[in-house]
Amino acid sequence: MSAPGAALLNRPSLSGGGKGLAMQLLLALISGGYAVGAALNWGSEEVAEIMGDFGLSAAGLLAAVSCYTYARAIDSRERPAWLLFAFSSLMGAGGNAVWGWYEVILGEAVPKPSLADFAFLCFAPPAIVGLLVLAKRPVTRAGWVCLGLDSWLIGGSLLTLSWSLALAHAARTAQSGAPGSVPRAALSLAYPLLDIALVSMVLVLHFRRSETNRSAVNTAIAALALTVLSDALFTSPLLSAGYQSGQLLDAGWFAGSLLLAYAPWGARRVHPGPEPAGHPRAGHPRAERPHSRPITGSLPALTPYLAAAVCTLGILYNVVDGRKVDRMVVFTGCTVVLALVIRQGIMLLDNIALTQELAQKENHFRSLVQGSSDVIMIAAPTGTLRYVSPAAAGVYGREAEELVGTELATLIHPDDLGRVVHEVRRFLAAPPTEEPTTRIECRFKSGGGEWLNVESTVNRHQGGLILNSRDVTERVRLQAQLQHSAEHDPLTDLPNRALFTRRVRQALTGRRAGDHSTAVLFIDLDGFKAVNDTIGHQAGDELLIEAARRLQDSVRAGDTAARLGGDEFAALILGDGSRDRSAREYQVHEIADRLRTTLSQPYRIAGSEVRVAASIGVAFADPGITPSDLMRNADLAMYRAKAGGKDRVEMYAPQMQAEVVRKAELAGRLRTALHEGEFALLHQPVVSLATGEVAAVAAQARWRSAQGILFTPAEFLRVAEYSEGGAAGGGPDASRTAELGRWLLEEAVEQAADRHRAGHDVPVAVRMTAQRLLDRAMPLGSVEALLTRHGLPSGALILELAVSDPRVPFDDLERRLTALHRLGVGIALDGFGSGYAAISALRRLPVDMLKLDRGLVEGVVESARLHKITAGLLRIANDLGMRSVADGVDLPEQVQALRAMGCTHGQGMAFSGPLDEYRLRRALVRGTFPVPGGAVQPALAGGSPGGSMAIRRGSHNETPVPPT
């Protein structure tokens, strides 16, 4: 609910207030009309008797019905009281009805006693009990005793006064012995005695009434008081002798009955809504209550003494006037004095007990305050400290006596003072019931002059404040450390990814939202993994620390340098408001190139010089770009810089994102091809360069297009290789590539087993990465189980191993390959001459065959440098007793050159392209391929049977093959 809505609900409605005022005016009008009519004797004696009897009966009946209806409508402890008020009013209505029966209907004088007297006598007791129900009940026996004593003190004093004035005459009449005098005297005594009891309860319980529906209870008490006052006037000797129905005295009873009928409804209806605590309206009674509270609080205590004074004055009046003091007056006065003495004794004992309890509590709380480790201070409304607990010496390093009398504002840090003053003023203006306490944190000056972080719980105290303070300096420091640790890299102390992202978001919002010259730089250290592998991770950490220091020193004061993880860093270059995009791009490119140069300088690590380079991607904050998109663009540019040769700066261009989308589409095509079974297996012969015999066949996967043609798109294979290498850590691309590798291995083994059973004992070579061989998703015995399931001898399988990822654990790879090698599985090192790990692989892995990289073979004829490199690698293979295979042998000149250098086998278009199963078996039946001694065309080039195709460079070009 909104604040205005809540205020509207708490405000008394104008319609309700108008209705209450109308009811009050109507009540006053009816009562005033009745009084005027009674004063004029209603115009005739008959009308006066009717209004004086049946009019009072109707008013009493109205009060009875009103109180009964209200009692039925509520569900609380007040219900019995209003039922008793209804019964009391009903008795009064019945008495007046009987009175009217005699005077109006029968035209006779009302006999004494009569049923009317019985009904009137039954008016006071229910009302007294009802008032007891509405009063607050004492909680102790002493309270009940004091309640009884207070009632007797008031009643006894009234009885003494009444007896002196009127009741003694009635008692003497009863003792005269005249006929009918005793009943009349008894009635004359009964009425005032019951009224005295009712008045006593009204006065005593007026100060003990419940807080529930106070307005209705006050109105009911006023109605009963008015009725008792009329009864007192009726029983006085001056009026009782000449009373007739319809006189002005009846107006008091009539108004009392109407006021009692009005009490539960009208009073409740005009009761104002709840006021906000602490903010009474101007002119409202609650606004005056704090000033009248001392007087109203003392009235209950003074009432018994006032009653005793009245009783004493009554006795003294008789003595001074020379009258004989009645024994009844003396007896009643003595009992009143005795009751006062007893009550005073009870109050004295209670005061002694309360004083002892207060002393115990004071000692208890004093011990708590003085022994507390928190500092408790009491500040006056002026801000001066009135009390400071002894704990101040240990917390603030200042004695409590030294702080007492000091202005609290002088102890608070100037930077925090304004905030503290604002919070204190807001707290003091808030309603106490809604906000009893508040908490303030600020810096407090200690005795040594340093500033302590202090947390204080603040309470109100006689216009001032009570502050319960504690030193939280260590907690604040710890929170600051935790916050710093959560937002900074633990190694370099640069902002981490979370803090960097938040600062990028801040740079793109607020007053910088329209500045599109802000740029984000993503930085990756090229060659850092080699540092870890060669000289250790400790040296790598030192290099990262030094690189972070260089980066931090190179950016401007308002910019942000961050470490995102690993060897990846980032920098946020805030915009300068420039509208010239090309000039800003040139400026940021210079900054990035300077960073690249700085980070590429040699590092002195562990006494040796280490060099790494830096690839940097730059992206600008285009209009409407989000922080995540801006950082993604810088990341794409950085990867483009690495792909373009590393150690360079690349600016983001929209086509980079388009390339990512295109690769994602190709990855989707790969997923579809795997699920729809669109891959086919081809084999390319591996031929002996000496004899032309087929020594093995290399299994290759091909994709079947929608037209039924098998081809190998080079871009498609690059996506697969990227998924296999770049996403080797996991993800959907890695899982799809692993699925393709499993399919290739199983299909190659199954077809090789079929050929073996057909008599073609030619081994099959399957390319496999080291990551896939060690993949946990691929069981250790999967290769062995596959050979056993299809019945292929282990010597008929060659695994062409590609070791290109420096993260491959050589220990695990060595154990796995050794186990396979013992079974007879051939191990070929694929891509020899291009990978960084070639020497380590030769030294540690059980390799049988070296497969030269295609890049060496393609330039072996044209480039003298490549010729020497290839010859050296082949010499290493021959010295180690290994066979050598040249991949991508497409030209006869390449065959001659490789054979002259000692290469033993070749694979390529110079002999044959990839063949389906039918053409492969034909080639195996033939057994050999012509080895070019000059310009000789290959025997089979993947074309139609019996023909040949033009020799093409690179076996990754699309090779049309009729569908099997």
User: What is the mean pLDDT of each successive set of 10 residues along the chain, which is 964 residues long?
Assistant: 35 51 83 84 81 86 90 81 87 86 83 78 77 68 70 63 53 49 52 58 55 71 76 64 74 86 67 41 39 45 64 66 64 73 78 83 70 81 87 83 87 90 89 88 86 90 85 87 89 92 88 76 90 85 93 90 93 82 87 92 87 92 88 92 88 86 74 76 92 92 66 51 42 60 87 91 89 70 85 89 68 85 86 62 82 86 88 88 90 91 92 90 90 50 32 36 38
Say if CB 662 and CB 719 are below 8 A apart: no
C-alpha 528/C-alpha 532 separation (Å) is 7
Compute the residue count for the chain. 964
Q: Would you tell me how many other CB atoms lie within 10 Å of the CB of residue 611?
A: 11
| pLDDT value at residue 15 | 46
Tokens of 554: 């190179």
Say if CB 680 and CB 701 are below 8 A apart: yes
By the 10 Å C-beta count (0-12 exposed, 13-18 middle, 19+ buried), 349 is classed as: exposed
Q: Would you tell me how many other CB atoms lie within 10 Å of the CB of residue 923?
A: 22
| pLDDT value at residue 544 | 93
| pLDDT value at residue 306 | 65
Tokens of 464: 């001032």
Tokens of 298: 């003392």
**Phi, psi dihedral angles at 809 (to 5 degrees):** -75, 115
Q: Whole-model pTM?
A: 0.48
C-alpha 496/C-alpha 732 separation (Å) is 28
522: closest CA among 490, 574, 561? 561
Say if CB 825 and CB 847 are below 8 A apart: no
| pLDDT value at residue 186 | 52
Three-class SS of residue 26? helix
What value does the CA radius of gyration of the chain take, rounded to a whole number of Å? Answer: 55
Which residues, including other chains, have CB under 8 Å from residue 462's CB and lie 6 or more apart?
Answer: none
Tokens of 116: 């009317």
Scanning the structure block, which residue is given the tokens 């040769």? 645
| pLDDT value at residue 634 | 93
| pLDDT value at residue 735 | 58
Say if CB 781 and CB 816 are below 8 A apart: no
Say if CB 851 and CB 838 are below 8 A apart: no
C-alpha 755/C-alpha 696 separation (Å) is 12
| pLDDT value at residue 5 | 34
C-alpha 649/C-alpha 32 separation (Å) is 102
Say if CB 163 and CB 329 are below 8 A apart: yes
Say if CB 531 and CB 612 are below 8 A apart: yes
Q: How far is CA 339 from the centre of its chain?
A: 64
Separation in Å, CA 256 to CA 27, 221, 536:
11, 10, 104
Through-space distance between the first and last CA atoms of the chain, rounded to whole angstroms? 76
Which residues, including other chains, have CB under 8 Å from residue 919's CB and lie 6 or more apart?
Answer: 940, 945
Say if CB 128 and CB 199 are below 8 A apart: no
| pLDDT value at residue 317 | 63
C-alpha 438/C-alpha 425 separation (Å) is 11
